[in-house]
Amino acid sequence: MQGPSPRNLIFRFWDLSIAERRDIMLKLDLIDVAELRVPEPELYKKAFKLAATRGLLADLASEIERVENSH
């Protein structure tokens, strides 16, 4: 079974609000509060790479879907 498409996740992720993006990444421990001063594109590029390395893309997809469904 193939995991979620990183490209699709990226598009869906950027459709979320700033707060929603931040909360998801903090929840999955892909960023920490000290890193919030880094520009978003740079911060989240690093976080997506970390998610892939840690095998968390499916968890990231689930969190994005959870937020999308709460709208």
Write out the two tokens for 1: 């079974």
Within-domain flag for 33:
yes
**Predicted model pTM:** 0.88
Within-domain flag for 23:
yes
Tell me what pLDDT residue 2 has: 59
Which range of residues forms the domain containing residue 57?
Answer: 6-69
Between CA 68 and CA 2 the distance in angstroms is 22
- The string of DSSP codes covering 8-66 is HHHHHHHTS-HHHHHHHHHHTTSS-GGGGGS-HHHHHHHHHHHHHHTT-HHHHHHHHHH
Phi, psi of 47 (to 5 degrees): -65, -40
* Residue range 18-38: mean pLDDT, rounded: 95
Q: Is it the case that residue 1 has pLDDT exceeding 80?
A: no
Within-domain flag for 1:
no
* Residue range 14-25: mean pLDDT, rounded: 96
Tell me what pLDDT residue 3 has: 66
Q: Is it the case that residue 10 has pLDDT exceeding 60?
A: yes
Task: Count how many domains the chain has.
Answer: 1
Within-domain flag for 34:
yes
Within-domain flag for 57:
yes
Tell me what pLDDT residue 5 has: 81
